[in-house]
Structure 1
Amino acid sequence: MTKSAKIVFIGAGSAAFGLSLFQDLFTTRKLAGCTLTLVDTNADALDRMADLAGVLNQRGEAGIVIEKTTDRRAALPGADFVLNAIAIDRNRLWKLDFEVPKKYGIRQTLGENGGPGGLFFTLRTLPLIFDFARDVEELCPDALFINLSNPESRVVMALGKYARVKALGLCHGIFLARWFIAQILGMTEPEIDVWGAGLNHFQWLMHIREKATGRDLYPLLREREATHDPSFTPLARRLFHAFGLWPTCSDDHTGEYLPYGWEGGEHGFDFDGDERGRVILKDLMDGVIDGTKPIPEDWTKPSWGERVVAVAEGILYNEKRFIESGIVYNRGVIPNLPPDLAVEVPLLADAAGIHPVSLGPLPDPIAKLLTMQAGVQQLAVEAAVRSSKELALEALLIDPVVTSTDAALKILDELWEVNKPYIRPCI
């Protein structure tokens, strides 16, 4: 039995998210007959991704109908799933988010989800996200809005509080944490089950178990971590020693939320390497499209860690699919974190929708650590939806990464001007 559904992918010109989605879509036959509508304002990038989708769709005999358009509103009527992977002038603005605070003495690890960079990602991104949400409310009110863009926690929190869309965030961070643990344990990733709860990029693994037997692997992790290379993911290990659970997902992401996060490295994102990689990937895609280069083998296999297609199949076929990790509006799922917060927990997806799995309260010290960040995220969202420079300053001043009032004022003035074209009220 096949089901017909419409998947609208906004920001389809994003090669990273687009390719992962294509790997999953075109290696399953369960979505045969479904329509994939690709949307992007960059016509050249859109054409490339649509052409690549056509090649991979044919190669996998997936039977998916592929459409493309630069008109978002034309794409949305009848949509069952709306995916978002947009970023506004991504590398240029993100680089400023990192370099301007650094100039004033603030030590960030990435400048994307926490610290001053996280604030300005929020300020410029949420107005566009709310444009999408209002269109979904009007044109396809029953659709599930799946966010893939950072800052995940703040996007899902804002939609949960101020929009009438069904929203879910998806991130592969928990699988990155599993990779680190597998290296220490000397096991393969498929041998390990992990169960996490917390904030996006700041989850804590409540359980680490051997998949085949259910054996608790925390005792073995403590034993082998003690003699493992000390230069390997040092920040996560210091937190592990202090709090007793392993944090996700990597030192650079986790470090965004902590005043001492720079101890795990403060090199920032590799913008130059990213640009070089984009050129290489574009050349490879063009070769695959025109037939001068073979399709890489991994493009014909399911992706590593992305779960959009699993969610869609669970909902369409009522299969009660287990999704290892997703970002949802809390509402008591983690009882000792604020209800009006976005949290990341395991999920079930079936025809009735998305069902967060509660792992109970977090250990009290961890909950207190996350509650500090919860206030930062809540205030940043309020600053963004109200286009308030005053609230933005307060959000900076309660952020543990910000260690100077003078720096906060200078960062705010400089980055507010840079982002001014994108900052506007959302409610």
Structure 2
Amino acid sequence: MTAVTKIVFLGATSASFGISIFRDLFSSHDLAGSTLVMVGRNVERLARAERLAKLLNDKSGAGLKIESTTDWRSALDGAAFIIHSTVIDRNRLWKLDWEVPRKYGIRHTLGENGGPGGLFFTLRTLPVVFDFVREMERRCPQALFINFSNPESRIVLALGQYSRIRTVGLCHGIFMARDAVAAIVGLPSEQVEVWGAGLNHFQCLTQIRDRATGADLYPLLREKERNYDPKVSPLSRNLFRAFGYWLGCGDGHVGEYMAYGWEAGEGGYNFEWDEGERAKTEKTIDDVLAGRAEIPWWWLTPSGERAVAVIAAVLHDRKQLIESGVVYNQKTIPNLPANAAVEVPVMADIAGIHPVSLGPLPDAVAKLMAVQVNVQQLAVEAAVRASKELALQALLIDPVVNSADAARQLLDELWEINRLYIRNCL
């Protein structure tokens, strides 16, 4: 008998991320007969997303049953997998998270997962996440919550501490790190195998190997990096020279956790580009649905995200290794706190998600990451308790924050901007 399941996609109206999930769902036949329930708040956008999903489902022969609803609570009834990618007023609030701290002299890189921006992403995101999770505890307590929303580490940490719902965060950062080192050593990305452990957007590549021969590529990386274009990844390369390991998935992401991250650039996120890309994607969707354009060929190919691989592995008990997942530590990385959210390889099977321990991190790397673990823990406490006092403490222990006066000023301003979304989760 073929195994079937119910998947709920929270945030299905996202023009960009929705396409990624659709690519994976409809380029596979592993979930044939299963039900996909798409959930969104905007009725018009949700209807468009449902039409696109049905078109891709028919075109690919993936064999899913497609439904949509704005009633997220009832959608959870009987669900086995919840894909979460919601965000509150993403670009408008993120831009303020970036601009307000700079006004008070804070130098930062992205303002999303670390620094003041990471704090306010946490403060406004966790109440929404806990709304979903508390309802899951009532309606589908055995379901797996698959999170794609940022701040990944803080969401997984909060659920690890305050919910019994099974949770894994998924991120393609490990592949960004692999691509960066592959470019430096001059090999195709698919020929380079990496194993990483650490924090989300801040993993330590404990091994870099040639996939064909198994040869250790770290000696070649050290040799090639010395004469590589100095404008490429200066922060990551400075850390590589200092600590002996490649850390993270790009200077912008890693820089969010460092007092000196801004030295590699303070450009911030390119909101104008983002809006342009979203507009292009939406126009393409409209043209495809209206019959004015063919379905882009790559919409029916895998995206590289791992949600569908996880779901299929659990559903069919395949014991699938997933290169990277964000999980509650519980000593998977023994020299980081047990109550941290870490990113490590995971095994997925019918029993759920099993973190794979690569052993302790190099001592200096663990100490570097432990600084950020403390920040994340305090930010989560501030968010779940809606505490402005704890939020100030989280800012004052964050290495990105260089002034107590600036911390108080930006906290007052951004707290008022986000007041509507901040509430106690306990």
When normalised by structure 2's length, the TM-score is 0.99
The answer for the alignment partner of 1:67 in structure 2 is 67
Residue deviations 1:112-136 (CA, integer Å, cap 9, x gap): 0000000000000000100000011
1:353 alignment partner in structure 2: 352
Answering whether residue 30 of structure 2 is matched by residue 38 of structure 1, we say no
2:391 maps to 1:381: no
* AA in 2 matched with 1:129: V
Structure 2: distance between partners of 1:69 and 1:263: 46
Q: How many residues align?
A: 426
CA distance, structure 2, for counterparts of residue 206 and residue 334 of structure 1: 12
Superposed, which structure 2 residues align to 1:52-63 within 5 Å?
Answer: 52-63=52-63
Provide the residue aligned with 2:309 in structure 1: 310
Which residue of structure 2 aligns with residue 153 of structure 1? 153
Q: Quick one: which amino acid aligns to residue 187 of structure 2?
A: M
Cα distance in 1 for residues equivalent to 2:206 and 2:47: 44
Q: Structure 1 residue 266: deviation in Å?
A: 1.1
**Equivalent residues of 2:16, 2:278 under 8 A apart:** no
One-letter code aligned to 1:263: E
Matched with 1:103 is 103
User: What code does the residue aligned with 1:203 have?
Assistant: Q
C-alpha distance in 2 between matches for 1:244 and 1:198: 15
1:2 positional shift:
2.8
Secondary structure of the residue aligned to 2:256 is helix
1:9-66 deviation line (CA, Å, top 9, x unaligned): 0011112221111111101111100111000112222112111111111111000000
Aligned equivalents of 1:89, 1:296: Cα separation in 2:
28
Deviations 1:309-348 (A, max 9, x none): 1001110111111100000000000000000110000010
Find the counterpart in structure 1 of residue 128 from structure 2. Answer: 128
CA distance in 1, matches of 2:293, 2:6: 31
Deviation at 1:190, TM superposition (A): 0.9
User: What amino acid is the match of 1:53?
Assistant: A
The answer as to whether partners of 2:198 and 2:344 remain within 8 angstroms in 1 is yes
| CA distance in structure 2 between the aligned counterparts of 1:275 and 1:241, rounded to whole angstroms | 37
Partner of 2:272: 272
Distance across 2 between alignment mates of 1:8 and 1:310: 16
Partner residue, 2:414 = 415
Q: Give the residue type in structure 2 aligned to 1:32.
A: A
Q: What amino acid is the match of 2:158?
A: A
Residue 352 of structure 1: CA displacement? 1.1
The structural deviation recorded for 1:74 is 1.3
Secondary structure at the aligned position of 2:174 is classed as helix
Q: Distance in 2 between matches of 1:228 and 1:263?
A: 19
Q: Is the 8 A contact 1:130 1:426 kept in 2?
A: yes
Residues 167 and 327 in structure 2, CA contact (< 8 A), matched pair in contact too: yes
Q: Determine if contact 1:2/1:31 at 8 Å carries over to the other structure.
A: no
Shift of 1:226: 1.0
Q: Deviations over 1:235-286 (max 9, x none)?
A: 1100000000001211001000000001121111111111111111100011
Quick one: distance in 2 between partners of 1:271 and 1:44?
Answer: 24
One-letter identity of the residue aligned with 1:338 = P
Distance in 1 of aligned mates of 2:175 and 2:289: 31
Tell me the residue number matched to 1:341. Answer: 340
Separation of aligned partners in 2, 1:237 and 1:348: 31
Q: Which digits, 9 at most, give the CA deviation of each residue in 1:52-106, with x for residues without a partner?
A: 1111111110000000000001100110100110110000000000000000000
Matched with 1:117 is 117
Q: Counterpart in 2 of 1:332?
A: 331
Partner of 2:282: 282
Partner of 2:204: 204
Q: Is the 8 A contact 2:16 2:281 kept in 1?
A: no
Match of 1:221 in 2: 221
Q: What residue is the counterpart of 2:361 in the other structure? A: 362
Query: Partner of 2:299: helix, strand, or coil?
Result: helix
Q: Work out the CA distance in 2 between the residues paired with 1:65 and 1:274.
A: 31
The amino acid that maps onto 2:324 is S
Q: What is the rounded CA distance, in whole Å, between the counterparts of 1:204 and 1:43 in structure 2?
A: 43
Structure 1 residue ranges (4+ consecutive) displaced by more than 6 angstroms after TM superposition: none
Amino acid at match of 1:120: F
Letter in 2 for 1:391: L
Which amino acid in structure 1 is aligned with residue 209 of structure 2? R
Identity %: 61
| Distance in 1, Cα, partners of 2:32 & 2:56 | 13
Measure how far apart 1:297 and its partner are. Answer: 1.5
Corresponding position of 2:48: 48
For residue 96 of structure 1, give the secondary structure of its aligned residue in structure 2: helix
Which letter does structure 2 place at the counterpart of 1:98? Answer: W
Equivalences for residues 224-235 of structure 1 within 5 A:
224-235=224-235
Q: Residue 295 of structure 1 corresponds to which residue in structure 2?
A: 295
Rounded to whole Å, the distance in 2 between the matches of 1:87 and 1:257 is 22
The answer on whether the counterparts of 2:40 and 2:46 sit within 8 Å (CA) in structure 1 is: yes
Q: CA deviation at 1:291?
A: 1.7
Counterpart of 2:398? 399
Q: C-alpha root-mean-square deviation of aligned residues, in Å?
A: 0.8
Q: Which moved more, 1:398-407 or 1:45-54?
A: 45-54
| 3-state DSSP of counterpart to 1:145 | strand
The residue identity in structure 2 corresponding to 1:7 is I
Contact 2:204–2:248, Cα closer than 8 Å, also in 1: yes
Give the letter aligned to residue 307 of structure 1. Answer: R
1:236–1:251 contact (8 Å) kept in structure 2: yes
In the aligned structure 2, how far is the partner of 1:137 from the partner of 1:323?
26
1:191 equivalenced with 2:191 (yes/no): yes
Q: Distance in 1 between matches of 2:48 and 2:262?
A: 38
* Cα distance in structure 1, aligned partners of 2:96 and 2:286: 31
- 1:23 alignment partner in structure 2: 23
Q: How many angstroms does 1:181 deviate by?
A: 1.1
Q: For the Cα contact (< 8 Å) 1:29–1:62, is it kept in 2?
A: yes
